[in-house]
Every structure is written in structure tokens, then in C-alpha cells.
């Protein structure tokens, strides 16, 4: 049984799907005539990745990475470790990183540096959620679904202790 309680629905699935349509259209226009590689960050980005990829009308491939940033259940420490690397050679490619949430920015900052070192031509970030109050490193997020305030968010891929990823909406943990 869950010991924590979750709050009200903050963002519905319909709102997320509409946003995926908008962002997918934007990416399609910006990369017209080019190929892209979408890199989903496991596991949180899985639902958002599925929504966004259907709405991009370009030649594309997909890949996934799994990273962990050490810390407590709700705060990251700043140290990033790769648990599953890319299977794709991204040298000279247009890469769009698909992430669930940008909080401190540490994970994405690390990933952008990593993709640069692997020779990516263009690196963009597409995040379902942005939590600007959590930011510790300066990072430019190119495509943002929704901005949230400084709460611990769960649902639609985002977990607390690996739970709640299956909720078909975005909510938060009650204090």
C-alpha cells in the first residue's frame, strides 16, 4: 500500500496530447528536410516520448539512454552515471533529447556535454515539464511542455520510488 498521498490532477492527458501535437509540429518545421535522432531518457520519458514521436513528420530513428543522478528519493546530488548507453552512432546527427522533467538541470547539462563529445551536429532538449525553481545549472530547454512549481511531481512517467509512473495525468505528492 502507498504511504504517501497524491494531490489533485495538475495536467490532464488531453492537455499533454495537445501539447505533444504543438511541439511535434514545431520540430517538424524546424528540421524540415533533415533527419533526426530522438533519444528518450529512461524511464520517466517513456510516455512523453511515445506521444511526441507520433507527431513528428520527419525521417527519424529513436534510441534510449538510462542515467541516474545520485541522491535521496526527491533531490539529486549532481553526480550522473550512465546505466544504459546509446546504441546509435550520433556523430554528425541532429539529436533531440526527450526528458520527463528539468529540475536542477544537472542531468541534461551532463547529457548535452556527452552528446557533444560524441560529435552530434545539433542537440536540442524536449522536456514534458520544467521546474525552474529547482535549477542549479544554467541550461537552455528548447521545447517545454509545461512549467510546474517547486513540488515533487508524479504521474505520466514520473515516479516516486518507482511508483506512479502509470498515472495517465500529472499530479504531485502531498507534503
Residue 106 touches ligand IMP, criterion: CB under 6 A: yes
- By beta-carbon proximity to ligand IMP, the closer residue of 31 and 167 is 167
In the three-class reduction of DSSP (H, G, I as helix; E, B as strand; rest coil), residue 113 is classed as: helix
Cα angle value 150/114/37 (rounded, 5°):
90
Pairing of strands 153-154, 171-172: antiparallel
Q: Is the Cβ–Cβ distance between 49 and 98 less than 8 Å?
A: yes
44 is a contact residue toward Mg ion (CB under 5 A): yes
Work out how close the CB of 116 gets to ligand IMP at its nearest, in angstroms, rounded to a whole number.
17
Q: How many residues bind ligand IMP (CB under 6 A)?
A: 15
The answer to whether 63 is a known catalytic residue is: no
**Half-sphere exposure at residue 26, Cβ-oriented, CA atoms within 13 angstroms:** 15
Judged by CB under 6 A, the stretch of 32-40, 88-96, 100-108, 112-120 that binds ligand IMP is 100-108
- Active-site residues, by number, are 103
Binding residues for ligand IMP, rule: CB under 6 A, are 44, 69, 76, 99-107, 152-153, 158
Amino acid at each position: 500500500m502507498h504511504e504517501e498521498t497524491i494531490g489533485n490532477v495538475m495536467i490532464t492527458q488531453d492537455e499533454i496530447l495537445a501539447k505533444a501535437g504543438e511541439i511535434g509540429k514545431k520540430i517538424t518545421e524546424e528540421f524540415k528536410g533533415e533527419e533526426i535522432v530522438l533519444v528518450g531518457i529512461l524511464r520517466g520519458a517513456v510516455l512523453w516520448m511515445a506521444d511526441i514521436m507520433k507527431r513528428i513528420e520527419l525521417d527519424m530513428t529513436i534510441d534510449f539512454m538510462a542515467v541516474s543522478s545520485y541522491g535521496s528519493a526527491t533531490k539529486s546530488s549532481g553526480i550522473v552515471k550512465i546505466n544504459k548507453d546509446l546504441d546509435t552512432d550520433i556523430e554528425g546527427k541532429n539529436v533531440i533529447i526527450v526528458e520527463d522533467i528539468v529540475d536542477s538541470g544537472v542531468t541534461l547539462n551532463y547529457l548535452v556535454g556527452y552528446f557533444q563529445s560524441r560529435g552530434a551536429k545539433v542537440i536540442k532538449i524536449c522536456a514534458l515539464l520544467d521546474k525552474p525553481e529547482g535549477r542549479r545549472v544554467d541550461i537552455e530547454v528548447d521545447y517545454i511542455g509545461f512549467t510546474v512549481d517547486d513540488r515533487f511531481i508524479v504521474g505520466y512517467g514520473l515516479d516516486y520510488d518507482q511508483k506512479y509512473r502509470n498515472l495517465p495525468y500529472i499530479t504531485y505528492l502531498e507534503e
